[in-house]
């Protein structure tokens, strides 16, 4: 990012210039690049770059009143509470005194934890929740003159008149929620892990959820859930084969009112396909009729050690059949990737009810197909590259919010995991919590042997766990990047 700008508080006019420049271009429909440079000294000017004219990284100011109260083992490291992660989804709302965005937290402070060995000897994937009472929230982020991006409101999500939970839900997941002391928590009747946000023409908020996966319609003023769709009840049943912790990751409402949600990674049909499936599923839901369709998103399979290592970040609609999406994950060399692609679903095959027509896996789900078999039977979504975020200084692992202010201004938000980091201490075998097991008595083991390892929660370095917005002003409209 722009290393020359580290003390925004000392240079408040830069924020004003940024807001004036972007809103001016949005309302003016294009604008002169030289004029934009003159107005916005806050933005880095790219010389000779054919894609991006200007870009910058803006730290999101989160007033302490929005912090998550915390009194656990690492309370001394979070004296004012845990800073909320407000970038699990992002959507532009409106122009005003500044720029206003809807954002959303995910399930709350959590971290990787030992697998949970239940009383029947079954091992479950788990997450530890330092604040198990946390309620996911819909957040407003406003880029204000003289201030910059700031969280200005937070609306708890509610179901049946009560705040929802961020813990694993009953009936939709075999994963287990643990406390930070590795005690199992019961599944929640309202468990929700929001990972995307958008708004329909009537002002209703649509969220996508990583657990179910599910689509959730929410009242914009009360936070009350108005409708929830899950696999087998409103959504295709095959989606229940999502990988653990990788349900929907990105939702978009198109101008015609349809709702689209992207599965984060490959489906794992019968525990057999996550590493070899040749595509991810994009789901279309029509609220007017209840009809659904599914399309094949062709992720960059060859770039990853295993197909299932690819992860989507967010999704935003450009029109009724074109979108921008983030694809990310560690490549075959363990290097991070964070790419913005332009997608076009026009002409793509509807996967609903389809199985493999030929070969050794004929009659089975398409995820079992080889690249040759899928190419012969499925027309995938077309895509083309818009931005490689890492080419412009992006360093986060998780780019999880994506929005358009206008047809040339792209905004990306990160998920900073509530500033939490976790580790195992006391056993030199491994510091990775997922290398261990914990049973119902609290006994910890590794590689089949008892372990003296203990689970620790810490505050992550602010430099790597701050909420921020990456803003890029493209040289051309995003519509020029779509495949033809």
- Per-residue pLDDT tens for 61-96? 999 999 999 999 999 999 999 999 999 999 999 876
Residue 427 located in a structural domain? yes
Is the pLDDT at 363 greater than 60? The verdict is yes
Quick check: is 28 in a domain? no
Question: What does the buried/exposed string (b/e) look like for 152-178 if buried means 16 or more CB atoms within 10 Å of the residue's CB?
Answer: bebbebbbeeebbbbbbbeebbebbbb
Q: Is residue 466 part of a domain?
A: yes
Write down the pLDDT at residue 26: 39
Strand, coil or helix: what is 406?
strand
Task: Pick the range with the lowest mean pLDDT from 27-36, 82-91, 334-343, 454-463.
Answer: 27-36
User: Does 29 fall in a domain?
Assistant: no
Length of the chain: 484
How far the first Cα of the chain sits from its last, in Å, is: 32
Q: Which domain holds residue 475?
A: 57-481
SS3 state at 302: helix
Q: How wide is the angle at C-alpha 62 spanned by C-alphas 12 and 463, nearest 5°?
A: 80
Whether 13 has a pLDDT exceeding 80, the answer reads no
Q: Is residue 138, in this structure, part of any structural domain at all? A: yes
DSSP string, 139-197: EEEEEETTTEEEEEEEEE-EETTEE---SPBTTT---EEE-TT--EEPPBTT---EEEE
Residue 34: inside a domain:
no
Beta bridge partners of 448: none
> pTM for this one?
0.91
pLDDT, tens digit (0-9, with 9 covering 90-100), for 114-145: 999 999 999 999 999 999 999 999 999 998 87
Supply the CATH number for residue 153's domain: 2.120.10
In a domain, 11, yes or no: no
Pairing relation of β-strands 225-231 and 234-235?
parallel
The tally of domains found in the chain comes to 1
Whether 41 maps to a domain, the answer reads no
| Residues linked to residue 411 through DSSP beta bridges, in sequence order | 403, 471
Averaged pLDDT of the chain: 90
Reference 291, options 245, 258, 316, 268; nearest CA is: 258
């Amino acid at each position: 990012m722009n290393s020359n700008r580290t003390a925004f508080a000392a240079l408040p006019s830069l924020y004003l210039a940024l807001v004036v420049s972007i809103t001016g271009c949005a309302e003016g429909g294009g604008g002169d690049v030289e004029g934009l440079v003159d107005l916005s000294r806050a933005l880095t000017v790219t010389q000779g770059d054919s894609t991006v004219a200007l870009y910058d990284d803006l730290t999101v100011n989160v007033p302490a009143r929005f912090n998550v109260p915390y009194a656990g083992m690492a309370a001394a490291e979070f004296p004012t509470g845990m800073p909320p992660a407000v970038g699990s989804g992002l959507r532009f709302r409106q122009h005003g005194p500044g720029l206003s965005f809807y954002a959303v937290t995910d399930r709350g402070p959590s971290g990787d934890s030992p697998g949970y060995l239940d009383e029947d000897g079954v091992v479950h994937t788990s997450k530890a929740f330092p604040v198990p009472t946390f309620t996911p929230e819909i957040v407003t982020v406003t880029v204000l003159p003289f201030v910059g991006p700031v969280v200005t409101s937070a609306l708890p999500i509610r179901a049946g008149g009560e705040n929802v939970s961020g813990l694993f839900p009953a009936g939709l997941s075999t994963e287990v929620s643990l406390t930070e002391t590795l005690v199992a928590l019961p599944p929640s009747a309202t468990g929700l892990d929001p990972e995307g946000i958008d708004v329909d023409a009537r002002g209703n908020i649509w969220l996508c959820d990583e657990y179910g996966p599910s689509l959730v319609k929410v009242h914009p003023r009360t936070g009350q859930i108005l409708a929830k769709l899950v696999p087998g009840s409103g959504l295709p049943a095959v989606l229940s084969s999502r990988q653990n912790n990788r349900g929907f990751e990105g939702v978009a409402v198109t101008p015609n009112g349809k709702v689209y949600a992207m599965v984060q990674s490959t489906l794992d049909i019968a525990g057999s396909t996550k590493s070899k499936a040749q595509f991810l599923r994009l789901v279309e839901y029509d609220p007017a009729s209840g009809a659904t369709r599914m399309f094949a998103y062709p992720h960059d399979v060859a770039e990853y050690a295993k197909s299932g290592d690819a992860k989507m970040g967010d999704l935003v609609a450009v029109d009724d059949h074109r979108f921008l999406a983030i694809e990310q994950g560690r490549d075959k060399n363990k290097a991070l990737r964070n790419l913005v692609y332009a997608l076009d679903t026009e002409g793509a095959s509807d996967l609903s009810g389809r199985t493999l027509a030929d070969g050794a896996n004929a009659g089975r789900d398409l995820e079992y197909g080889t690249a040759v078999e899928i190419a012969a039977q499925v027309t995938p979504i077309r895509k083309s590259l818009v931005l490689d975020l890492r080419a412009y200084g992006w360093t986060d692992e998780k780019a999880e919010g994506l929005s358009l202010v206008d047809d040339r201004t792209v905004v990306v938000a990160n998920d900073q995991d509530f500033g939490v980091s976790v580790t195992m201490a006391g056993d030199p075998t491994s510091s990775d919590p997922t290398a261990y097991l914990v049973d119902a008595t609290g006994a910890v083991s590794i590689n089949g042997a008892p372990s003296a390892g203990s689970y620790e929660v810490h505050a992550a370095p602010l430099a790597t766990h701050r909420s921020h917005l990456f803003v890029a002003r493209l040289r051309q409209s995003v519509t020029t990047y779509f495949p033809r």
